[in-house]
Structure 1
Amino acid sequence: MFERLKQLFAVGNSANDDKMTLELVTAALLLEVCKSDFQEDPGEIDKIRKILIAHFSVSIADIDTFMAQARNTTEERTDLYPFTRYINDNCNNIEKYQLVSTLWEVALEDGRIDKYEDHLIRKISDLIYLPHSDFIRAKLSVIGDGH
């Protein structure tokens, strides 16, 4: 699903983005959704780990170190702009839709979508210029998958 994205994110666009990779951008946004309701649900953290291991080159052995690196990256930033700009510079709408779907998966992992999670995913979706119809379709597809 994310193979093309991984290639696109392999090289940064500026000196400040040299450390950015698709894995890091995705992990950072997933972690932001996880903590947006002011509690980090262990199930949501587990879901993030599974997504990163399944779709990226993050190994089981390295996942905790990588998650810590992603946390540090989000704490160094005061906004979502570096992440969403990176997505806009390198992704098409299908790839953006896939990203937003994974954000919904994490938000729903604890059995409910908190209003803060919903707001953040809507904000990310707007910042990456994903059409509103795709934002809704992604949400409904995740909700309809048995949650």
Structure 2
Amino acid sequence: MFGDFLTRLISPGPAPLDDGDARLALTALLVRVARSDGDYDAAERGMIARIAGRRYGLSPFEAQRLLKDAETLEGQAPDTVRFTRAIKDAVPYEDRRSVLEALWAVVLADGQRDPEEDALLRLVASLLGITDQDSARARQKAERA
């Protein structure tokens, strides 16, 4: 199921993703960042499910199903650089910018800012084409929430 999706996503000049595929790709990116410190815990999974539920108007059951699919996709996705660049090419800027805020919320869900997570978020912001100013605003907004 996800093999065809990933092939389409990382192909040269991918077509814009439909809403369902964009949800899945962006949620998988949240999972990737949450897993980056080697401690993917219930607080992070819960935060991702809540973000997905709010962002996409999903019921708790639907948000959990999306999270499960995103975890599977993330496990099959290529390296972070190729995966993130593919999302950049297929998802509008405003969606990518708001996802960066969600990524910060996931990173901060365990109450700690890990240096590896900070470095990964800087890389992801750059690969998503997010300006430094928008990235800083996204982090600050997530810290206040």
Q: Does 1:28 align with 2:20?
A: no
Identity in percent: 22
| 1: CA distance, partners of 2:79 / 2:114 | 20
TM value normalised by structure 2: 0.78
Give how far 1:14 is off.
Answer: 9.2
| Residue 112 (structure 2) pairs with residue 98 (structure 1) | no
Task: Compare the two structures and name the one with the higher helix fraction.
Answer: 2
Q: Secondary structure at the match of 2:60?
A: coil
Cα distance in 1, alignment partners of residues 138 and 126 from structure 2: 14
* Structure-to-structure mapping, 1:1-147, within 5 angstroms: 16-17=8-9, 21-80=21-80, 81-92=82-93, 94-143=94-143, 145=144
Q: Is the 2:84–2:124 Cα contact (8 Å) retained in structure 1? A: no
CA deviations on 1:80-106 (whole Å, 9 max, x unpaired) are 3234323333312x3322111110011
Provide the C-alpha distance between the structure 1 equivalents of 2:65 and 2:91, rounded to a whole number of angstroms: 26
- Paired with 2:42 and 2:36, the residues of 1 have a C-alpha distance of 14
**Deviation of 1:62 (Å):** 2.9
Q: Secondary structure at the match of 1:137?
A: helix
Structure 2: gaps spanning 5 or more residues = 10-16
**CA deviation map 1:19-55 (0-9, x unaligned):** 9712111210111111111101211110100011111
1:58 offset after TM fit, Å?
Answer: 3.6
CA distance in 1, matches of 2:50, 2:39: 19
Contact 1:48 1:106 (C-alpha < 8 Å) held by counterparts: yes
Cα contact 2:53–2:60 (8 A) shared by 1? yes
Are 2:100 and 2:138, in contact at CA under 8 Å, matched by a contact in 1? yes
Paired residue type of 1:89: A
TM-score, normalised relative to structure 1: 0.77
How many matched pairs? 133
Aligned residue for 2:113, secondary structure, equals coil
In structure 1, stretches of 5+ residues that fail to align are: 1-12
